[in-house]
Amino acid sequence: MNFVRDWFDRHLSDPQVVGLAVVLVVGTALVVMTGNMLAPVIAAVVIAYLLEGLVAFLERYRTPRLAGVMLVFWAFMAFLFFVFFALLPLLSRQASQLVQLFPTMLQSGQDALLKLPESYPELFSETQVRDLIAQIRIDAVGFGQRVVSQSLSSVIGLITLLVYLILLPLMVFFFLKDKHRIIDWATRFMPAERRLLHHVWTDVDRQIGNYVRGKFIEVLIVWVASYVTFTAMGLQFAMLLAVAVGLSVVIPYIGAVVVTLPVAFVAYFQWGFTSDFAYLMIAYAIIQALDGNVLVPLLFSEVVDLHPVAIIAAVLMFGGLWGFWGVFFAIPLATVVQAVIKAWPDLPKSGSESEQPSPERAD
């Protein structure tokens, strides 16, 4: 019990620590309990936070805040217009074409598997290959059923999307415009002593802002490089695959492994095991190598000092809690946890210890 009491006195006796713990617990509970109901509000807060960096940049060059908010907001609306009316229709067409070709691609893969016992009889038997093909067919049927069920509920999803398209930009605008009023209102509910909370938030704000900015640039560069490479080499569904490769960098390590499968599958269906297939996979490997060894160190040299094991653990944990969005925000959330852990030991000493002079001063 003395150990527990000492630990409590050392880490939880400070009122600022208690205030930080209460804010974290209450904030997490609100997100968990009201996340589904307030999803548009949470999304608007996140987007407004990301756009605030651009507004602050304009303010540093003496642009009035309202003018900066209007400029950034209309740039954001133009980006949404491009995504929903130019990019998504193209991706939808290519995805539909890919789904229509999927049975043919599956048959091609089955023929290739059936040749394995002839080419490598010491490694594969005909029974093993036929069992594998049967399992693939079962999985493909299950996938098709899930696609149909998703399409049946697409009407509800479309209505929800329309609501988001109306409400979300409106809330983003007001969050940007009335930022200071909202912060002043929220601080009334914060503890009076919030030096530790301010320290944690400053660290989190710096880390997340730099991370999101760098990640956006990384996604854009990898997306464009992949699209140019795939188009130059004549790969089908170049835009669809390039977008997948670009977005895969959001999930470190895991995303690159997962997105390699569709790229290789489409390339094999188009060319088979030929030199064109080999050249494409080599070019794709070069893009991944340049991203991991050149682009990432350049963009994130001073940002998100997390161990790879911690990143993978964050992806698994937050993905299990909140699905896709948990995976998407895994690293920012892990940054919050890291900032809290780093700030926690930096507490003031107890009264008796802090009042004792150091040996140097005593001399």
pTM as predicted: 0.68
CB 299 within 8 A of CB 172: no
Q: How many CB atoms lie within 10 A of CB 195?
A: 12
Average pLDDT value for residue range 154-178 = 75
Instruction: Convert the pLDDT of each residue in 174-231 to its tens digit.
Output: 988 888 888 888 777 776 666 666 767 777 777 777 777 778 888 899 999 999 999 9
pLDDT band (50, 70, 90) for residue 142: low
**pLDDT recorded at residue 192:** 67
Q: Is the pLDDT of residue 354 over 60?
A: no
**pLDDT recorded at residue 165:** 76
* Three-state DSSP string of the chain: CHHHHHHHHHHCCCHHHHHHHHHHHHHHHHHHHHCCCCHHHHHHHHHHHHHHHHHHHHHHCCCCHHHHHHHHHHHHHHHHHHHHHHHHHHHHHHHHHHHHHHHHHHHHHHHHHHCHHHHCCCCCCHHHHHHHHHHHHHHHHHHHHHHHHHHHCHHHHHHHHHHHHHHHHHHHHHHHHCHHHHHHHHHCCCCCCCHHHHHHHHHHHHHHHHHHHHHHHHHHHHHHHHHHHHHHCCCCCHHHHHHHHHHHCCCCCHHHHHHHHHHHHHHHHHHCCCHHHHHHHHHHHHHHHHHHHHHHHHHCCCCCCCCHHHHHHHHHHHHHHHHHHHHHCHHHHHHHHHHHHHHCCCCCCCHHHHHCCCHHHHC
Measured CA to CA, the distance from residue 263 to residue 166 in angstroms comes to 36
**pLDDT recorded at residue 347:** 46
Instruction: Convert the pLDDT of each residue in 265-298 to its tens digit.
Output: 888 888 888 899 999 999 999 998 888 778 877 7
Beta carbons within 8 Å of 263's beta carbon, 6+ residues apart:
241, 244, 245, 280, 281, 284
Q: Is the pLDDT of residue 242 over 80?
A: yes
**pLDDT recorded at residue 281:** 92
Cβ burial 292-313 (10 Å sphere, 16+ → b, else e): eeebbeebbeebbebeeeebbe
Beta carbons within 8 Å of 16's beta carbon, 6+ residues apart:
191, 193, 194, 195, 196, 197, 347
Specify the range with the lowest mean pLDDT, choosing from 1-15, 163-177, 183-197. 1-15
Q: Is the pLDDT of residue 153 over 60?
A: no
Mean of the per-residue pLDDT values of the chain = 75
Q: Find, among 101, 90, 142, 114, the residue nearest to 265 by Cα.
A: 101
Record the tokens describing residue 57, joined without a space.
Answer: 């940049």
Specify the range with the lowest mean pLDDT, choosing from 36-45, 101-110, 342-351. 342-351
Instruction: Convert the pLDDT of each residue in 254-265 to its tens digit.
Output: 778 888 888 988
Q: How many CB atoms lie within 10 A of CB 23?
A: 17
**pLDDT recorded at residue 158:** 60
Specify the range with the lowest mean pLDDT, choosing from 18-22, 167-171, 266-270, 342-346. 342-346
Pick the residue with more confidence: 28 or 246? 246
Instruction: Convert the pLDDT of each residue in 65-111 to its tens digit.
Output: 899 999 999 999 998 888 888 888 888 888 888 877 777 777 777 77
Instruction: Convert the pLDDT of each residue in 302-312 to its tens digit.
Output: 555 666 677 77
Measured CA to CA, the distance from residue 284 to residue 263 in angstroms comes to 9
**pLDDT recorded at residue 361:** 42
CB 296 within 8 A of CB 218: yes
Record the tokens describing residue 224, joined without a space.
Answer: 């464009």
